[in-house]
């Protein structure tokens, strides 16, 4: 009975996924209007790798192919639809225990990531009562990540001002993190760039752990299944590990590395006014408009401008946005400045809705700004003091990115 129910649930999910694809396909998408285009100038073989990675990113895993035993969703694209951001329906939850002095990721209770679902016969995880730091994470968009990866550490560190020596109230600092052995770059410390707290330094690591943690797929890089301590007994699937070859993982990494950010919208006079206000009231203090990448073997990533509107540093954003969850050297009030590129097209990919901030808690850009506290207190205050037409111009600017 339980198995039958699961089969019904899984096939329901399949039709939901298909429906979602249909919805995307029925809206014709013009060039520069999509999150699914490669960077310009890729060679034939690079385009082939891009296409393979694109397909693998959309692949829905079945139990026979190694899904689980614990998982959140059966494909990357379920959470990152159209390669844009996800909706709160696909948030994933991290949890731990914060006693006011130190942080415990509760590994022996299944932390730090909650996998609510299991394959037939395997109970999903429940949030343990010990968890008091609960961080629902909204899936961020996944375009432009190769550009982000190609920004030299030195350029990012140049904006750090840990002790706010220039006295502007903003004290961005890097998240120094370690890297697993398969990255081959030593244990670190490395400058974290990916994830909402910049807890991951390398795209390969982000992809490998997404397979293992989010889908339950083991790979040549990480050939062991995620643990399920809550079950009390060892649980496994029937597929020998590793379940996925390094070549597929590499294709997905290449795909993400070369997935282009969408083109910018028109710079109307109102948008230009908003752009000026954005700098004038201090938004650009964290949402740094652009960087230049360092040298790269991929021409499209080699010494090019990256207009991501983020400094990729951690900022204390105040109690309203705090999750009390610690990651790498980040604290429970710190977040990586969210890149603002692609805001123009958010709604295209979520059936007309948009979800902002770390947990997707608001669909309203003004509310997203109002919720800025901590180091962003001053910029927020200045935003609230703008006239209605100035506020509108600033929003129009955000919606042009």
Residue 283: phi, psi to the nearest 5?
Answer: -65, -35
- Say if residues 93 and 135 touch (Cβ distance below 8 Å): yes
**Quick one: what does residue 140 bind among Ca ion, ligand HEC, none, with the CB cut-off 5 to 8 Å set by partner type?**
ligand HEC
The DSSP code for 71 is E
Is residue 218 at the binding interface for ligand HEC, with CB under 6 A as the rule?
A: no
Partner from Ca ion, ligand HEC, none contacting 105, C-beta within 5 to 8 A by type: none
- Residue among 234 and 385 whose Cβ is closer to ligand HEC: 385
Report what 211 binds from Ca ion, ligand HEC, none; CB cut-off 5-8 Å by kind: ligand HEC
Which option in Ca ion, ligand HEC, none does residue 241 bind, with CB closer than 5 to 8 A by kind?
Answer: Ca ion
> 6-14 long-range contacts, Cβ below 8 Å, gap at least 24?
6/119, 6/120, 7/120, 10/74, 13/74, 14/60
* 344 binds ligand HEC per the rule CB under 6 A: no
Q: Which is nearer to ligand HEC, 229 or 373 (CB)?
A: 373
CB closer to ligand HEC out of 55 and 234: 55
Cα 304 to Cα 36: distance, rounded to the nearest angstrom: 20
Helix 269-280 and helix 388-398, axial crossing angle in degrees, nearest 10? 100
The first and second tokens of residue 229, run together, are: 């301590």
User: Any contact of residue 356 with ligand HEC (CB under 6 A)?
Assistant: yes
Closest to 218 (Cα-Cα) out of 241, 185, 194, 186? 241
- Count, residues near Ca ion per rule CB under 5 A: 13
Both tokens assigned to 85: 């951001």
Q: Judged by CB under 6 A, which of 124, 192, 285, 289 binds ligand HEC?
A: 285
* Contact residue for Ca ion among 56, 76, 133, 170 (CB under 5 A): 170
Q: How many residues does the chain have?
A: 401
Dump the DSSP string for 80-121.
Answer: SGGGS---GGG-EEEEEEE-SS-EE--GGGT-SEE--EESTT
Regarding 286 and contact with ligand HEC (CB under 6 A), the answer is: yes
Selection from Ca ion, ligand HEC, none that 237 binds (CB < 5 to 8 A by kind) is Ca ion
Provide, rounded to whole angstroms, the least separation between the CB of residue 28 and ligand HEC.
25
* Whole-number Å distance between alpha carbons of 76 and 84: 11
Q: Select from 137, 151, 150 the least CA-distant residue to 210.
A: 137
- Residue 341 within binding range of ligand HEC, rule CB under 6 A: no
Q: Where are the alpha helices (DSSP H) in 210-258?
A: 246-258
User: Which part of the chain contacts ligand HEC (CB under 6 A), choosing from 229-237, 239-247, 262-270, 332-340?
Assistant: 332-340
Residue 301 CB, nearest distance to Ca ion (Å)?
30
Backbone angles phi, psi at 56, to 5 degrees: -65, -35
Closest by Cα among 274, 302, 306 to 289: 306
Q: Report which secondary-structure segment, H or E, holds 268.
A: none
Lookup result for tokens 């996998």: 115
Q: Binding of ligand HEC at residue 398 (CB under 6 A)?
A: yes
What are the two backbone dihedrals, phi and then psi, of residue 315, each rounded to the nearest 5 degrees? -135, 140
For Ca ion, which residue of 65, 161, 270, 390 counts as binding (CB under 5 A)? Answer: 161
- Fill in the per-residue mask, 149 to 188: x = in contact with ligand HEC (CB under 6 A), - = not in contact: ---------------------x------------------
Residue 342 binds Ca ion (CB under 5 A): no
Closest distance of CB 46 from ligand HEC, Å: 18
Closest by Cα among 119, 108, 111, 79 to 95: 111
Contact track, ligand HEC, 75-104, x by CB under 6 A: -x-xxx---------x-x------------
Residue 38 is given by DSSP the state: B
Single out the residue of 375, 391, 393, 401 in contact with ligand HEC (rule: CB under 6 A).
375
Asked if residue 365 binds ligand HEC (CB under 6 A), the reply is yes
Instruction: Using CB under 6 A, list all residues that contact ligand HEC.
Output: 57, 72-73, 76, 78-80, 90, 92, 137, 139-140, 142, 145, 170, 194-196, 199, 206-207, 210-211, 214-215, 252, 256, 281-283, 285-287, 315, 317, 321, 335, 337-338, 340, 356-358, 365, 368-369, 372, 375-376, 379-380, 383, 398
């Amino acid at each position: 009975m339980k198995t039958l129910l699961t089969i019904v649930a899984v096939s329901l999910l399949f039709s939901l996924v298909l429906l979602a694809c249909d919805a995307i396909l029925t809206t014709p998408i013009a060039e520069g209007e999509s999150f699914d285009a490669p960077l310009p100038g890729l060679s034939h073989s690079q385009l082939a790798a891009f296409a393979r990675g694109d397909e693998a990113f959309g692949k829905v895993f079945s139990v026979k192919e190694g899904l689980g035993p614990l998982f959140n969703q059966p494909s990357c694209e379920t959470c990152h639809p159209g390669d844009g951001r996800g909706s709160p329906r696909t948030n994933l939850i991290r949890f731990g225990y914060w006693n006011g002095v130190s942080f415990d990721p509760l590994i022996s209770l299944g932390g730090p990531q909650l996998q609510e679902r299991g394959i037939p016969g395997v109970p999903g995880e429940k949030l343990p009562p010990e968890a008091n730091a609960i961080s629902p994470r909204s899936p961020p968009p996944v375009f432009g990540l190769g550009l982000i990866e190609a920004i030299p550490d030195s350029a990012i560190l140049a904006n750090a001002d840990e002790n706010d020596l220039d006295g502007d109230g903003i004290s961005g600092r890097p998240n120094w993190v370690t890297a697993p052995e398969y990255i081959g770059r030593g244990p670190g410390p490395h400058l974290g760039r990916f994830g909402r707290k910049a807890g991951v330094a390398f795209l390969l690591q982000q992809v490998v752990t997404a397979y293992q943690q989010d889908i339950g797929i083991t790979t040549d890089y990480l050939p062991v299944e995620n643990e399920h301590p809550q079950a009390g007994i060892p649980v496994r699937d029937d597929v020998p590990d590793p379940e996925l070859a390094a070549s597929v993982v590499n294709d997905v990494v290449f795909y993400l590395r070369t997935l282009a950010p969408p083109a910018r919208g028109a710079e109307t006079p109102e948008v230009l006014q908003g752009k000026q206000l954005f700098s004038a009231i201090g938004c650009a203090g964290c949402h740094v408009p652009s960087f230049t990448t360092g040298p790269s073997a991929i021409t499209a990533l080699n010494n090019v401008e990256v207009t991501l509107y983020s400094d990729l540093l951690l900022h204390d954003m105040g109690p309203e946005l705090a999750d009390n969850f610690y990651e790498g050297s980040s604290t429970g009030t710190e977040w990586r400045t969210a890149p603002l590129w692609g805001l123009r097209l958010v709604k295209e990919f979520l059936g007309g809705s948009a979800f902002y901030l770390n947990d997707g808690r608001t669909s309203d850009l003004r509310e997203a700004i109002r919720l800025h506290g901590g180091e962003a207190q001053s910029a927020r205050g200045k935003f609230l003091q703008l006239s209605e037409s100035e506020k509108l111009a600033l929003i129009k600017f955000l919606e042009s990115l």
